[in-house]
Structure 1
């Protein structure tokens, strides 16, 4: 029996908006045409500045008649201010004049509706915020109707009270009231840092508006790390503020910094040693909880994905297992994983609008009976450790940052070929499950049986398990043998289910959506497509990330993957850094196709 482990590293991306809001809307006098009377807007412009650069977010609120397509314009006061890279609109700039045109998905704005756009920019000398905007050629005045006849003398005094900011909180259930499924009925947060990188890729705008998770893979990520290759300028607070500006209903964070993190692999090792649980609590979990618990965010459904790649390692990758490691032995013996997860659940679960989902591996890791029940037991142990209870667990997630097919349509685990069970094929290798959906639904039942609440929901990460393209089988394989039958028909084209790093031939999977199947709260993109799983060769870095041979395309494998080739793409950066070649391959092989 092959028992391995691994998934992938973290992440996030580029840079984006931030600070104080400026509302445009001074009174103007205009000729009173019907077109002008029908178009009006209120603009909130915010920026996050640093020497030589800035990120801006612009919220457009339509306070006139309904719009079907819009063009926003403004003029920078400083001729050095330049738009470099934008999202959610098509940006052009001529001299100091900037134009942003709507895209197909956000051009329709009903009366009272808002949409947000943003861009990265450059400046020198100074970076003043623009104070006047036009929408479809009409100067925005915040909704104040100009007089039919312009006054003969202009007013001598400006209005004493400037317009207020547009509302930032989306309508939700009363603050602190948990819903059964936090993904249902609301829009997800689109991380503009990841979106900017995706939009910079040819064809990337086709997928860049999907919600992805924000990975908090070290203490510095809490406040943002703009100089990192794999993190963005935004910290937890900036992401939450941007989610409010977007009118998002939910936002997803990955809590990922356990002591001795990822004890069975090297590519996504962490910054904390196995004995640094007090530091994990005081300097990592406590500050995250303090920010997420602020009352201004109570209308957001905050989803925390708890400690990827952790608790199942205590079952499958200790020294009594094939490929076991000393580090896994250490964190099992000292309780770092169990107590760290328990503390995170208790601290974050105490916040009324927070939903915790614990990582639960994937079918190619835990689908054997020797792993299935023991892992459910260790998950229960962690859920009631360090003062936590099962009530702090809203559900579980499978296939995080992995590649396991959502469904295998051309063979079932109960199939037989010439009297031989599919379970005896080299690919299935006696596993009880052949795809993620059947595993997630069965594992949910198992978790309930060991004491978790009966209404827990499952998430499945579908960011990279589409396996489309020309290599996707259209029917079952030949019945010459059980292996030809399975290999000829399987959607998952990896050399082995244990391969986890930057897999060649993989594609984007199902787009994020709520309640797709029984027991499943949502299909999600927790691993942001295009972010590397690990470097294909050793690359020095200050993030504690090592080099794992499973990310080396020349590697011939080990006991965990049946001594098969790694299947990894070449020229990969460290985990979490942007990997353009992988992003393009994921789009080419997307299923459903783009």
Structure 2
């Protein structure tokens, strides 16, 4: 994974400001936010709430052909470095976003907190700014200033949904131990407890602010669907939620598919279907996973986490910003039942060569638009990842720049050969605007625009 929003100049066209006030979609509520009183805590913070539209993202989207159709959708603001808190000449800071939310008469703001020491186990692209030793800086220069701003009386009427350090704990499951994907960097982070302490501290501080609703990331079915991954993940989530002064009461809910591409539902097959005597879970693409899509996975994780001690009523969200997979390649029905692998590959809506591919995926489209309580067990579809923000540069090794193999269109992942990464060529660095990808997302949106 990943990840982040996209910055733009502080001076924004009048069109985008107007679009951002007219927040589109089913998340729009009626009426202004209160002036000062903290809002009553609610089970589902999205229910009836007008959700903030980031004007920087709205500008970028509206400037693309056809982008005005979605420019009014609410997306999360990513705080992925210390400088993002105060902002720069090119990008709004946290106070500016909150002030803009008040001006929009919004009632809910979505923030992604993403700056742990040794973030993504030290991946070079995107590369985090804090080393594994800098947990004190993380607390004092990142989390504490964010909390101080969120606790200001001026913003007391806002509901703040905070997505806390996505993908971090999943890395400690899939990239440690005897797995072929294990890395020394992830082993070091796990051994030192860096992520557990950092997340616990963030939860303790954020959870003390009345209007803040912290959410923990539960990755996606293609990373943690297998029981030998989901079990350890729930244990790590509990450890993180009860470390550094935090308790499970600070976790309002969980979010699945953050910045990823997994479909809500595979419509034409299930993992336990049988093709010529073989169950679908034996196919190469499913690879023994009992889950082939996100909604059943998210509900299953909620049950597992309730068994670990989290509230059984914990809110569950799914990021649908880029999991639509529409366009001409989308199947319209199940394939003829001949060869098992051919059946799965021809029937699946998710067109990735490997379900673990995550960088700037070719063929992807906008997913379901943000909506509240779209179906039982899911409190909202949200756009955590702002569509059009690059997952990472599509460079090649040896060019003197940070290199992420999964963003290289020509790289074949280990044990995946001859399957490529599915990454689009010509991508800019992580978080920067990627016009070609945004236009593809528009063209392949499902439901269609």
Q: State how far apart, in whole Å, the 1-side matches of 2:376 and 2:23 are.
A: 33
Structure 2 SS opposite 1:263: helix
Say which of 167, 173, 176 aligns to 1:318: 176
1:20-169 matches, within 5 Å, as 54-55=11-12, 86-89=15-18
Shift of 1:369: 0.9
4+ residue runs of structure 1 moved beyond 3 angstroms?
102-106, 171-174
Q: State how far apart, in whole Å, the 1-side matches of 2:24 and 2:343 are.
A: 43
Shift of 1:320: 2.1
- Distance change (3 Å), C-alpha of 1:310 and 1:105: closer
Q: Which structure dedicates a bigger proportion of its chain to helix? A: 2
Residue 349, structure 1, aligned to residue 204, structure 2: no
Q: Deviations over 1:31-81 (max 9, x none)?
A: xxxxxxxxxxxxxxxxxxxxxxx45xxxxxxxxxxxxxxxxxxxxxxxxxx
Structure 2 SS opposite 1:453: coil
Residue 553, structure 1, aligned to residue 416, structure 2: no
1:248-267 matches, within 5 Å, as 248-263=106-121, 265-267=123-125
Q: How many residues align?
A: 442
Which has the larger Rg? 1
Residue 8, structure 1, aligned to residue 7, structure 2: no
Structure 1 SS opposite 2:317: strand
Residue 387, structure 1, aligned to residue 245, structure 2: yes
- Residue 435 (structure 2) aligns with: 580
Q: Deviations over 1:370-415 (max 9, x none)?
A: 0011100100000000000000000111111111111100001221
- Distance change (3 Å), C-alpha of 1:89 and 1:354: closer
Is contact 2:24-2:73 (8 Å) kept? no
- Distance change (3 Å), C-alpha of 1:302 and 1:589: same
Structure 2 SS opposite 1:305: strand
Structure 2 SS opposite 1:262: helix
Say which of 210, 235, 243 aligns to 1:377: 235
Shift of 1:11: 1.5
Is contact 1:264-1:324 (8 Å) kept? no
> RMSD of aligned C-alpha atoms?
2.2
Bigger mean CA deviation after superposition, 433-442 or 516-525: 516-525
Shift of 1:563: 5.4
Shift of 1:574: 0.4
Structure 1: tracts of 5 or more residues without a match: 1-6, 17-53, 56-83, 91-101, 107-112, 115-168
The two structures have a TM-score, normalised by structure 1, of: 0.72
- Distance change (3 Å), C-alpha of 1:103 and 1:357: closer
Residue 204, structure 1, aligned to residue 198, structure 2: no
Q: Which structure dedicates a bigger proportion of its chain to strand? A: 1
Residue 336, structure 1, aligned to residue 199, structure 2: no
Is contact 1:264-1:325 (8 Å) kept? no
- Residue 140 (structure 2) aligns with: 282
Q: State how far apart, in whole Å, the 1-side matches of 2:269 and 2:85 are.
A: 45
- Residue 273 (structure 2) aligns with: 415
**Which is bigger in relative contact order (C-alpha 8 A, separation at least 6)?**
2
- Distance change (3 Å), C-alpha of 1:242 and 1:9: same
Q: Deviations over 1:178-206 (max 9, x none)?
A: 11000110111000000001111111000
